[in-house]
Structure 1
Amino acid sequence: MQTVTLQAPGQLHYHESTFDATLLPGEALVRIHRIGVCGTDLHAYRGRQPFFTYPRILGHELGVEVIELADEASTLQIGSRCSVEPYLNCGHCIACRRGKTNCCASLQVLGVHTDGGMREYLKVPVHKLHPSLTLSYEQLALVETLAIGAHAVERAGLTPQDTVLVIGAGPIGLSVIEFVKLAGVPLVVTDREETRLAFCRSQLGVAQTLPANEDLPVRLPECLNGDLPTVVFDATGNPASMMKAFDFVAQGGKLVYVGLFQGDVTFQDPMFHRKEITLMASRNALPGTFTTIIRAMEAGRLDTTPWITHRSSLTAVAGSFPGWLEPGSGVVKAMIDLS
């Protein structure tokens, strides 16, 4: 079986591996057709990904085909095209019992804590497969990325009275933007790279973008009738940005951390209390979020066509990663094709 393994930081290795296709009850054998490359994969390649050990088979944004089922499944059949929900939860811890399977106490994420999809075949619990009759494998591979943003927006509980700032216009920030747009509230996006802001304007229809520089504190209220935003999403995973984000939250507002880094977050406590800021973390997504996104994509309310800027075959991916990390590469989303 064709496989790519991240042996150590900066060392992707293409090789043939053996695979035991024996299924346990409740499992499906899937053939992987598309793999989206996300920030987690790139951070792991650099050696900067929390909760990560080497060697590891990367890949958790997957568009797959069901080729075998251990037993009958009401929503699946041989040949079903599916998105994979890559969060393997225990089902019995306090988080799982309360329906928060995304933050299970012993969560195993494919491609992070356990081997993922940079290979031809994978065994997956049936209930982690989300099928579509109409979406392509490429679209299905993007559902997990979208789910990260969708869950963050769900966490924020946006109302028509809210205004939003999204900090960071990488793939995760873009996924947040998509669902803020669907909520129909005023939106400002900021990033250090003008190319990303230009992408937001031209491809996502974001009307108000600002460079993340020293003028941001002055220019931001000008975009929102003199006020600061009531909800700020930080999707950078950059410690300086995440700590600075407190300054941009309106009195009584919310700050949602979508990105993460290895280290501590500090903030000025009097300011935090004076504004009565609600601070939230957002981790992964819930099963229902995958279904909601697939239905929205099927209905044409989410268009992921502009997202994919770079492509690779599985055999060439080891040589592609260094280029994707170059600051001027223009990567929004890279897609690996196994078909």
Structure 2
Amino acid sequence: MKALLCVEPGRLELVDRPAPPAPGPGEAAVDIRHVGICGTDYHIYEGKHPFLAYPRVMGHELSGVVAETGEGVAIAPGTPVVINPYLSCGHCVACRAGKPNCCTSITVLGVHGDGGMTERVVLPAGNLYPAEGLSLRDAATVEFLAIGAHAVRRSRAEPGTRALVVGIGPIGLGAAIFARIAGLEVTLLDASAERLAFARDRLGFSAGFATGADAEAQLMAHTGGEGFETVFDATGNVKAIEAGFTLVAHGGSYVLISVVKDRIAFADPEFHKREMTLIGSRNALKADFEHVMASIRAGRVPLDALVTHTTTLAGAVEDLPRWAHTKDGLIKAIITVGG
């Protein structure tokens, strides 16, 4: 079978690989149909991922069709599915608490092991969610949107309250969309005028501000000096994360979706006088995938606007490197694998 292999940083090859073995008990073989290209995939290609061994088949935003099942699997061959790429142990403290998204020994497809930029994978059947009512292209967007949906659910923000999303790449836009679905009053902050214009003109977010020296003053004026009941950070930038603390309203919450390698510092008096809640949000749970799928079926997610670029598995050898360096107009790129 064909696979797109990142042999080493800066080098992609379309290679032939043996098909995976037949699925064992509790497993299913899935023929991959579409793969969303994530920021993580670009980082892997560029050699910026800190904990990755090459060569690696990337890809964790996946849709496919069940091809074959092992013993004890209820899902039928021929079923279109969304793939949850987070493989958990099932018995650690987080898994026992119903939080396999932060399993102590989690394996993410395409990062800790080979992923879905290939023609077939074998996975635990519990990681497959029937994609009834979704196109297979749309099904490949569910995972990245679920990250934002999970962050919104973690925030427990009340409908009608103010939310600020900082950083409106695909993850931030997903958080903004699901914050709006949750009934929050959403404001956006980003360094890119192009992204802000896209969010305004294509997605309907009218309140958007550019980062800069006067951004904090503008945002505080926008809220009557009160700040935002919930701030979501999706920047992956230390300085942006630290600046976000001052934008949280008294009694509000700060949700960190992005992760950075460095330490984050904040003024403890400012944190305490607000009685601020600081929340980490990692990956997503089955409930978040299901919420995203239901929202797509209901027509509440503007996927035709979000999916801006497409390619094939062979075409990605040239397209992915180009998109890694030139992101003008790029929101979400989708690879078509087969079918």
Normalising by structure 1, what TM-score? 0.96
The yes-or-no answer on 1:332 pairing with 2:331 is yes
What is the match of residue 151 of structure 1? 150
Residues 86, 101 of structure 2: 8 Å contact kept: yes
Q: Aligned partners of 1:187, 1:202: CA distance in 2, in Å?
A: 15
Query: How much does 1:50 deviate?
Result: 4.2
What is the match of residue 82 of structure 2? 83
Mean CA deviation greater in 88-97 or 48-57 = 48-57
What is the match of residue 69 of structure 2? 69
Query: How much does 1:222 deviate?
Result: 2.5
Query: How much does 1:281 deviate?
Result: 1.0
Mean CA deviation greater in 149-158 or 242-251 = 242-251
Question: Given residue 269 of structure 2, which amino acid in structure 1 is its aligned partner?
Answer: P
Q: Aligned partners of 1:271, 1:327: CA distance in 2, in Å?
A: 39
Q: Aligned partners of 1:43, 1:162: CA distance in 2, in Å?
A: 35
What SS does the corresponding residue of 2:278 show, helix, strand or coil? strand
Question: Given residue 148 of structure 1, which amino acid in structure 2 is its aligned partner?
Answer: I
What is the match of residue 5 of structure 1? 5
Q: Aligned partners of 2:24, 2:122: CA distance in 1, in Å?
A: 9
Question: Given residue 26 of structure 2, which amino acid in structure 1 is its aligned partner?
Answer: G
What SS does the corresponding residue of 2:25 show, helix, strand or coil? coil
What SS does the corresponding residue of 2:251 show, helix, strand or coil? coil
Residues 25, 72 of structure 2: 8 Å contact kept: no
Alignment CA distance shift 1:181-1:161 (3 Å): closer
Residues 50, 262 of structure 1: 8 Å contact kept: no
Q: Aligned partners of 2:178, 2:7: CA distance in 1, in Å?
A: 36
What is the match of residue 190 of structure 1? 189
Structure 2: state its 5+ residue gaps: none
Query: How much does 1:28 deviate?
Result: 0.6
Residues 230, 255 of structure 2: 8 Å contact kept: yes
RMSD over aligned Cα atoms: 1.4
Mean CA deviation greater in 236-245 or 165-174 = 236-245
What SS does the corresponding residue of 1:230 show, helix, strand or coil? strand
Instruction: State how 1:167-316 maps to structure 2 within 5 Å.
Output: 167-316=166-315
Q: Aligned partners of 2:46, 2:131: CA distance in 1, in Å?
A: 34
Residues 49, 261 of structure 1: 8 Å contact kept: no
Residues 59, 115 of structure 2: 8 Å contact kept: yes
What SS does the corresponding residue of 2:144 show, helix, strand or coil? helix
1:120-164 deviation line (CA, Å, top 9, x unaligned) = 000011111111222111110000011000000011001135211
Normalising by structure 2, what TM-score? 0.96
What SS does the corresponding residue of 1:250 show, helix, strand or coil? strand
Query: How much does 1:328 deviate?
Result: 5.0
Question: Given residue 8 of structure 1, which amino acid in structure 2 is its aligned partner?
Answer: E
1:16-43 deviation line (CA, Å, top 9, x unaligned) = 1112332110111110010000111112
Q: Aligned partners of 1:328, 1:50: CA distance in 2, in Å?
A: 22
Residues 67, 79 of structure 1: 8 Å contact kept: yes
The yes-or-no answer on 1:93 pairing with 2:97 is no
Question: Given residue 194 of structure 2, which amino acid in structure 1 is its aligned partner?
Answer: T
Aligned length: 338
What SS does the corresponding residue of 1:15 show, helix, strand or coil? strand
Q: Aligned partners of 2:332, 2:61: CA distance in 1, in Å?
A: 11
Structure 1: state its 5+ residue gaps: none
Question: Given residue 40 of structure 2, which amino acid in structure 1 is its aligned partner?
Answer: T
The yes-or-no answer on 1:126 pairing with 2:125 is yes
Residues 28, 73 of structure 2: 8 Å contact kept: no
Query: How much does 1:13 deviate?
Result: 1.9
Question: Given residue 92 of structure 1, which amino acid in structure 2 is its aligned partner?
Answer: H
Residues 188, 223 of structure 1: 8 Å contact kept: no
1:67-97 deviation line (CA, Å, top 9, x unaligned) = 11113543x2111111000110000001000
What SS does the corresponding residue of 2:287 show, helix, strand or coil? helix
Residues 160, 185 of structure 2: 8 Å contact kept: no
Query: How much does 1:330 deviate?
Result: 1.8
What is the match of residue 115 of structure 2? 116
The yes-or-no answer on 1:48 pairing with 2:38 is no
Q: Aligned partners of 1:50, 1:242: CA distance in 2, in Å?
A: 20
What is the match of residue 58 of structure 2? 58
What is the match of residue 104 of structure 1? 103
Provide the identity percentage. 40
What is the match of residue 32 of structure 1? 32
Residues 48, 262 of structure 1: 8 Å contact kept: no
Residues 63, 84 of structure 1: 8 Å contact kept: yes
Alignment CA distance shift 1:230-1:203 (3 Å): same
